Structure 1
Amino acid sequence: MAAKHLHSSKNNEGIISMENTTIGFIGYGAMAEKMAQNLKNAGYTIVAYTPSGKEKNGTQMLPTPRTLAEEADIIILCVPNDEAENQSLYGEHGLLAGVKPNQLVIDTSTVSPEQAERLSALAQEKGFDALEAPMSGSTPEAETGNLIMLAGGKEKTLLRAQPILDIIGKLTIYAGDSGAAARLKLVVNGVMGATLNVIAEGVSYGLSAGIEREVLFNTLQEVAVVSPHHKRKLKMAQERKFPSQFPTRLMSKDMGLLVSSARKVGAFMPAMAMADQALALSNRRHANEDYAALIGAMEHSVANSSDK
């Protein structure tokens, strides 16, 4: 099925207010919280479930995924990995125990393609509608409603979900049947991770070769070959501060999913495999810092080697 690009106008007419519709988030981290705020602003009622049960910004927290499924009209999954998603789905208190016929479930998590396909199979079995919609973008884009939404599943389910996707994102790209969006998301994040690793290697060379630090970082933030996204990461590294817009633990997890999936399909991608290893190493010390901390780790290794 060919990919289709569905553009959102992002004007007042394109924002649908749904005062009588309740959206329930399973997983309520930084990304979900910002998406939820935009949905609140559009008139939706928001409830949420997290294992910690900690309230955030006045959002009502429900005790179990089952309770959330029973009380919400629409469910949005936004969890860190396959394991967390399965914990929310199964069991006496899981989502599947409370999901209603024809209920819409939108999965914005970055999970394995196999997990996305499992959710689709469960939807067919249980009679609800499931759409995979992993997002491209970090917390700044989530806050402003400028995420890129990658959609996979049935086209009619995408049409049901489109008003919500138009609020949390600026563009929806339909990738195809279940699993397609998950695979496309791994491509996007693989390019992000591998590019950052290349930039970190460039910084390592530049500093080792004696280029003045400020000249090096300022230059890389001006040239066209570095994307706006990675220029933000360079700014963090220049300031030696890595506030977590996209934590290393999640980027490392995504790179691992990509390498595993690539092995299954026989794809040749040595640069991404190398980036996977670099980010896995960085994850040991910088798990909850932004994945840009890899640049800082490279710089630290240069400083240590020059001290010897």
Structure 2
Amino acid sequence: MDDPRIGFVGLGLMGRAMVECLQKNGFELTVLGHRDRSGLDEALAQGATEAASGRALAEESDIVMLCMGTSDQVEARIYGPDGILAGAREGQVVIDFGTSLPASTLKIGADLAEKGAVYLDAPLGRTPAQAREGRLNIMCAGERAAYDRVRPVLDVLGENVFHLGKLGNGHTIKLINNFFAMTTACAMSEAFAMADAAGIEREALYGVMSAGPLKSGMMDFIRAYAVEGRIDLAFSVANAAKDVGYYRRMTEDLGRDSPISGAADAALRAARDGGAGDLMVPQMTDWIATHSKKGQT
């Protein structure tokens, strides 16, 4: 696909960084914002065009990109008389870069296919800073021919770009990945909290645990905060609770129980619902240390 016209929906921290990267690489963009116009205004200042609706954006774009927080938000932009689906057409490719429910992804994909458009799920790894530099990890799934057509654009945004098979596989793998990551983070946070309760220095515990096969990048993220007070993992408790909750809904859709995710889900939801949703995940160490005391509500 030569010189594709790109429409971009969702200019939060990650979305605006991706838009910046695309603009620096010479792509012309049509953008659609929400209540917070800061990311939108940045894009407009660099030459982007603002669309009045999802339908108008789709009508002007060869590739439509969405980078949004929840499946509900994605569906709100896809459906309705002014939604992306209403403006979709034959040969168009729509890409969801968020972390969404696979069941929602499959429904949207089927509806877009009726218009001749193709839906790809392509959740992301890494940070907005790396997005600006075109160094994201992109877990793309869906029709291979459509993936091959948009691959040059994905290569601008990503350092590691994967094609993972049929539609929905990207979101499924991302949710499995985030379930495992957040379960590990919560387990390490509790380990430090229990060391505190036992009068053991956190660094002493880490030294023993990291000397064996338990050592991991996630362990080191939690240790950076627990021992040094430094947050290297800027991922909120609210987002973590959402992703683990989506993972559990996915397992239900698959007809499976998920006993292991239950503990992380309960801890993250309790923290979020108790007003700690804006904390970063490594700060669960302090939250668990406080709220694990017997009789603590």
- Alignment partner, residue 286 of structure 1: 276
One-letter amino acid of the structure 2 residue matched with residue 180 of structure 1: N
Question: How do residues 1-308 of structure 1 correspond to structure 2 at under 5 angstroms?
Answer: 20-52=3-35, 54-56=37-39, 58-60=42-44, 61-213=50-202, 215-216=204-205, 225-238=214-227, 240=229, 245-284=234-273, 285-301=275-291
How big is the shift at 1:203? 0.7
One-letter amino acid of the structure 1 residue matched with residue 196 of structure 2: L
Check whether the contact 1:131–1:151 (CA below 8 A) recurs between aligned residues.
yes
Q: TM-score, normalised by structure 1?
A: 0.82
How big is the shift at 1:100? 3.1
Pick closer, same or farther for the CA change 1:69–1:221 going to 2, 3 Å: farther
Check whether the contact 1:247–1:289 (CA below 8 A) recurs between aligned residues.
yes
Pick closer, same or farther for the CA change 1:299–1:154 going to 2, 3 Å: same
CA distance in 1, matches of 2:132, 2:159: 12
How big is the shift at 1:215? 4.9
Pick closer, same or farther for the CA change 1:158–1:135 going to 2, 3 Å: same
Identity %: 25
**Number of residue pairs matched?**
288
How big is the shift at 1:43? 1.5
Look up the SS of the partner of 1:101 in the other structure: coil
CA distance in 1, matches of 2:291, 2:262: 21
CA distance in 2, matches of 1:151, 1:183: 11
RMSD of aligned residue pairs (Cα, Å):
2.8
CA distance in 1, matches of 2:155, 2:248: 31
Check whether the contact 2:16–2:43 (CA below 8 A) recurs between aligned residues.
no
Check whether the contact 1:193–1:272 (CA below 8 A) recurs between aligned residues.
no
1:216-258 deviation digits (Å, cap 9, x = unpaired): 5687788773323442343234455658832222221111111
One-letter amino acid of the structure 2 residue matched with residue 22 of structure 1: R
Look up the SS of the partner of 1:106 in the other structure: strand
Which structure 2 segments of 5+ residues have no match? 45-49
Check whether the contact 2:194–2:289 (CA below 8 A) recurs between aligned residues.
no
One-letter amino acid of the structure 2 residue matched with residue 295 of structure 1: T
How big is the shift at 1:293? 2.8
How big is the shift at 1:126? 0.9
One-letter amino acid of the structure 2 residue matched with residue 235 of structure 1: A
One-letter amino acid of the structure 1 residue matched with residue 276 of structure 2: H
Pick closer, same or farther for the CA change 1:67–1:221 going to 2, 3 Å: farther
Check whether the contact 1:221–1:234 (CA below 8 A) recurs between aligned residues.
no
Q: TM-score, normalised by structure 2?
A: 0.85
Check whether the contact 2:88–2:112 (CA below 8 A) recurs between aligned residues.
no
CA distance in 2, matches of 1:108, 1:221: 33
1:96-118 deviation digits (Å, cap 9, x = unpaired): 22223211211111111111101
How big is the shift at 1:46? 2.9
CA distance in 2, matches of 1:220, 1:164: 42
How big is the shift at 1:296? 2.6
Check whether the contact 2:224–2:232 (CA below 8 A) recurs between aligned residues.
no
One-letter amino acid of the structure 2 residue matched with residue 44 of structure 1: F
CA distance in 2, matches of 1:39, 1:24: 11
Check whether the contact 2:192–2:226 (CA below 8 A) recurs between aligned residues.
no
Structure number with higher relative contact order (C-alpha < 8 Å, ≥ 6 residues apart): 1
1:123-158 deviation digits (Å, cap 9, x = unpaired): 210111221111233334434433221122111011
How big is the shift at 1:202? 0.8
Check whether the contact 2:19–2:43 (CA below 8 A) recurs between aligned residues.
no
